[in-house]
Amino acid sequence: MTQTFKLKKGKISFDNDRIIINDAAKKYRILMLMTSGFGSIFGIGFALNSLRSDEQIKLWLGLLICLLSISGLIMWLLRSVRSEISLREVKSIKLNQKFSNKFLDIRLKSNRLRRVIRLDNKTELEEFIETNFGAD
Beta partners for residue 21, in sequence order: 12
pLDDT(122) > 80: no
Q: Span 101-105, mean pLDDT? A: 86
What contacts 24+ positions apart, CB below 8 Å, involve 63-68? Answer: 65/39, 65/40, 66/39, 66/40, 67/43, 68/39, 68/43
pLDDT value of residue 135 = 54
Express each pLDDT in 53-91 by its tens digit. 878 888 999 999 999 999 999 988 889 999 999 999 999
Chain centroid to CA 12:
16
At residue 127 the predicted structure's pLDDT band, cuts being 50, 70 and 90, is confident
Dump the DSSP string for 36-52.
HHHHHHHHHHHHHHHHH
3-state DSSP assignment of residue 82? coil
Helix ranges (H only) for the chain are 25-53, 56-77, 122-133
At residue 4 the predicted structure's pLDDT band, cuts being 50, 70 and 90, is confident
Express each pLDDT in 10-63 by its tens digit. 899 998 889 999 988 889 899 999 999 999 999 999 888 888 887 888 899 999
From residue 88, give the alpha-carbon distance in Å to each of 1, 19, 84, 107, 110: 17, 10, 12, 12, 11
pLDDT value of residue 19 = 92
pTM equals 0.78
